[in-house]
Amino acid sequence: MTTKQILYPKGKLWMAAIKPPMYSVAIMPIWVGTTVAFAETKIFNGAIFSTFIAAAILILAWENISNDVFDSETGIDKNKHHSLVNLTGKKLAVFWLGNLCLILGLLGILAIAIWQQDLTVIWLILLCCGLGYMYQGPPFRLGYQGLGEILCFFAFGPLAVSAAYYSQTQTWSTTSLLASVIVGIVTSLILFCSHFHQVNDDIAAGKRSPIVRLGTDKGSQLLTWFTASIYPLSLILVLWGVFPAWTLLSWLSLPSAFKLCRHVQQNHNQPDKVSNCKFIAVAVHFWSCLLLGVGFVL
Ligand SMILES: C/C(=C\COP(=O)(O)OP(=O)(O)O)CCC[C@H](C)CCC[C@H](C)CCCC(C)C
Ligand SMILES: O=C(O)C1=CC(=O)c2ccccc2C1=O
C-alpha cells in the first residue's frame, strides 16, 4: 500500500474526483428555466426536460473531466490526489472519456433542436461549452486570470436558463432572464468558494484566482455581499410583481447562506478548515434554486 492510499482511501478519492453533489449545478438552470416557462405559458414537455437534464449533466462531466486533463498540463493539480489524471495515470483515456461525455451531451441537445425544428438551443449550449473551454483550455485558460466567475455566471445563468426556457416555449422571457441572474450568482459563489483553500497551489502555478488577487480576508467579505445580494433581489422582484410571492420560499436557503458566510469569515486563511466551504455553497445553490423554481410552479 502506498503512502497516498494510507492517507486518502481510494473510495473517497474517487468520490471526490467524480464530485456527485456538484451535478445539481447542471440541473438547476434547467429546472428554473423550465418552471418559469410553465408559470408563464402552462407548457411543460417532460421528454425535453429530462433530455436537457441528462445532457446538462454530461456536459458538466466533460467540463470537470477535461479540467483535470488541462490542469495536469500546468502543474496546478500536482497536490490534488483526487484529480482523475493523478488517480488513473491515464491522461489520454481521461481526455477521451471527457470528450465522449461532451459528444453524448451535445447529441441530447441536438435531439431537442430536431424535436423543435429550431437550432437556437444548440447555439446557446455551444456558447456555454465555449465559455467552459475558455475557462480552462489552452490558449485561453481564463480561469487562471481570475475570470472564471464571470464565465460561470453567464454560462449557468442567462445562457443555460434561457436555453431551458426556450426549449419549452421557443420564445424568450424577461422573468426567466431575471431569475437567471440569481442562478448565475449562486453558481459563481461555488466557484469563488473553491479557491480559498488553494491559494498556495494557485500562486505556485501562476493562477491569479479572485482569492489570490484579493487575499482571503477581502475575499470572505465579498463572498458575504454576493451571497446576501440574492435575497433583497428576489424580494424586490416579488414587490414589483415580476416574481410570484411563492418564490420567496427560496429564502429558506438563508440558514445555509449564514452558515457559509460565518464559516468563511472565521476560517478564510486556514486551508484545512475552509476547504469544505464549496460544499456549503452547493447547499445554498441547491436550496435557493430548487425553491425558486417551486415558487414559480405553485
Ligand atoms: C470545472 C469548474 C471548476 C473547477 O475549477 P478548478 O480548476 O479551480 O477546480 P479544481 O480545483 O477542482 O481543479 C467549473 C467551471 C465552470 C465554467 C466557468 C463554465 C462551465 C460551463 C458549462 C460547460 C456549461 C454547462 C451548461 C449546462 C448547464 C447546460
Ligand atoms: O470542482 C469544482 O471546484 C467545481 C466543479 C464544477 O463543476 C463547478 C461548476 C460550477 C461552479 C463551480 C464549480 C466548481 O467549483
Closest listed ligand to the CA of 52: 1
| Lookup: cell for 152 | 460561470
The ligand 1 atom nearest the CA atom of 29 = 28
What spacing in Å lies between the alpha carbon of 195 and ligand 2's midpoint? 10
Please report, rounded to a whole number, the percentage of residues in the chain having pLDDT higher than 90: 94
For ligand 1, atom 22: residue with the closest CA? 132
What spacing in Å lies between the alpha carbon of 294 and ligand 2's midpoint? 24
The ligand 1 atom nearest the CA atom of 30 = 28
Please report, rounded to a whole number, the percentage of residues in the chain having pLDDT higher than 70: 98
Distances (CA, A) of 133 to 17, 109, 151, 208: 19, 18, 10, 18
Give residue-wise pLDDT tens across range 170-210: 999 999 999 999 999 999 999 999 999 999 999 999 999 99
| Lookup: cell for 295 | 415558487
CB 211 within 8 A of CB 56: no
Tell me, what's the ipTM? 0.98
CB 268 within 8 A of CB 215: no
List residues near ligand 1 (CB under 6 A). 26, 29, 56, 59-60, 63-64, 67, 71, 77, 125, 128-129, 131-132, 135, 148, 151-152, 155-156, 160, 191, 194, 198
Give residue-wise pLDDT tens across range 229-284: 999 999 999 999 999 999 999 999 999 999 999 999 999 999 999 999 999 999 99
Give the integer Cα–Cα distance in Å for 28 and 20.
14
What spacing in Å lies between the alpha carbon of 63 and ligand 1's midpoint? 6
The ligand 2 atom nearest the CA atom of 60 = 7
- Identify the residue whose cell numbers are 479572485: 210
Q: Note the pLDDT of residue 62.
A: 98
pTM: 0.96
Give residue-wise pLDDT tens across range 28-39: 999 999 999 999
Q: Note the pLDDT of residue 7.
A: 65
Distances (CA, A) of 37 to 45, 116, 121, 123, 181: 10, 15, 15, 19, 16
Q: Note the pLDDT of residue 25.
A: 98
The ligand 1 atom nearest the CA atom of 26 = 28
| pLDDT band, residue 3 (cuts 50/70/90) | very low
Is the CB–ligand 2 distance for residue 125 below 6 Å? no
Q: Note the pLDDT of residue 1.
A: 37
Give the integer Cα–Cα distance in Å for 134 and 143.
8
The ligand 2 atom nearest the CA atom of 64 = 7
User: Dihedral of the CA atoms 144, 146, 147, 153 (nearest 10)?
Assistant: 120
Give residue-wise pLDDT tens across range 48-61: 999 999 999 999 99
Q: Running DSSP on this structure, what letter comes out for residue 198? A: G
Print burial letters for 93-129: b (CB count within 10 Å at least 16), e (below 16): ebbebbeebbeebbebbebbbeebeeeebbebbeebb
Average pLDDT on 14-29 reads 94
Q: Running DSSP on this structure, what letter comes out for residue 8? A: S
Closest listed ligand to the CA of 62: 1
Q: Name the residue of 13, 18, 19, 151 whose CB sits within 8 Å of the most ligand 2 atoms, as the mutation to test its pocket.
A: 19
CB 28 within 8 A of CB 285: yes
Is the CB–ligand 2 distance for residue 281 below 6 Å? no
What spacing in Å lies between the alpha carbon of 87 and ligand 2's midpoint? 19
Q: Note the pLDDT of residue 87.
A: 96
